[in-house]
């Protein structure tokens, strides 16, 4: 009986609206995957056939020559370690500091709170490129050029993440905190032992978004890093390409190498991403 009920439940889920949504999503998925598949196909072609006509998905031979040349031209192991270290530390600091700032805006009442929160929201509309020159001058004054902290610190303050977390904290029942206050807990203890555990879905989403954006960030690490041993993967791969001219097979191999770790992260944590966005209430806006 339970098997029959489960089967009927599965059929009941397929409503006309759901079928129409799936029919619309499939072409969009193909449009998104096609350029990625083409980049992978080019990366396995000989360099001489990467731009040949007519266009063909598979070259005369399938070769790893482009990957081998990219690997030999640069210190990929070092660059990947730098990128992973910077991304992990930036993610941890961003989650902690943005969560504390968001909790302060959502749960505490202090003079100038609305004005300060307005400044944070205004920061969402400021293009990061506008801040590059003053940030670089600040890193020079602090002696942080060509250091990990010079790359990490300017990426920690993310107004958009503060906004997302404020929206989530606004939905956390205040009764839970009030009960803890009655039991003698302070604001700091309530934040770490009650609010943060309840916020795991949105914190996971913020962490993943931050990790991906930090891993992909090219402009700021490019400006603040001149030592090849301190370069991140996107910066190092671009330097390899410019040093040896425009070679499309190697370029696509670089794209695949840089993007593969992010694809693995997304596949492993896609549920947390969707759940975190849904819990913030942003998905319906």
Q: Per-residue pLDDT tens, the chain, 285 aa: give them.
A: 444 445 544 554 667 777 777 788 788 877 777 877 877 787 777 766 666 666 677 766 777 777 777 777 767 788 888 999 999 999 999 999 999 999 888 888 888 888 888 888 888 888 888 888 888 999 999 888 888 999 999 989 888 889 888 888 888 788 877 787 877 777 888 888 888 888 888 888 888 888 888 988 888 998 898 888 888 888 887 776 655 556 667 777 777 777 777 777 777 777 766 665 565 544 444
Select from 138, 136, 154, 143 the least CA-distant residue to 90.
Answer: 154
State the Cα–Cα distance between residues 95 and 91, nearest whole angstrom: 6
Select from 220, 98, 238, 216 the least CA-distant residue to 148.
Answer: 220
Q: Which two tokens stand for residue 91?
A: 């993610």
pLDDT of 282: 46
Q: Which CATH superfamily is domain 69-281 in?
A: MetI-like (1.10.3720.10)
CA distances from 263 to 71, 102, 125, 213 (A): 20, 29, 28, 13
Q: Which two tokens stand for residue 134?
A: 């003053």
């Amino acid at each position: 009986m339970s098997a029959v009920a489960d089967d009927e439940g599965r059929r009941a889920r397929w409503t006309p609206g759901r079928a129409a949504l799936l029919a619309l999503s499939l072409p969009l998925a193909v449009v998104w995957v096609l350029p990625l598949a083409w980049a992978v196909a080019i990366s396995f072609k000989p360099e001489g056939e990467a731009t040949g006509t007519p266009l063909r998905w598979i070259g005369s031979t399938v070769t790893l020559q482009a990957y081998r040349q990219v690997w030999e031209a640069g210190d990929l192991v070092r660059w990947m370690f730098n990128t992973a270290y910077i991304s992990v530390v930036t993610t941890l600091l961003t989650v902690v500091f943005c969560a504390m700032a968001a909790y302060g805006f959502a749960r505490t009442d202090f003079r100038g709170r609305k004005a300060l929160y307005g400044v944070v929201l205004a920061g969402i509309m400021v293009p990061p490129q506008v801040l590059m020159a003053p940030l670089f001058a600040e890193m020079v004054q602090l002696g942080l050029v060509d250091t990990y902290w010079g790359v990490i610190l300017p990426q920690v303050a993310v107004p958009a993440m503060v906004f997302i977390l404020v929206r989530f904290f606004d939905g956390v029942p205040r009764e839970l905190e009030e009960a803890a206050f009655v039991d003698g807990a302070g604001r700091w203890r309530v934040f770490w032992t009650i609010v943060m555990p309840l916020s795991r879905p949105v914190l996971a989403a913020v962490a993943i978004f931050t990790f991906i954006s930090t891993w992909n960030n090219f402009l700021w690490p490019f400006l603040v890093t001149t030592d090849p041993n301190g370069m991140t993967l996107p910066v190092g791969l671009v330097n390899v390409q410019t040093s040896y001219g425009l070679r499309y097979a190697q370029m696509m191999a670089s794209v695949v190498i840089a993007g593969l770790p992010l694809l693995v992260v997304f596949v492993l944590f896609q549920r947390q991403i969707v759940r975190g966005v849904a819990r913030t209430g942003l998905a319906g806006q």
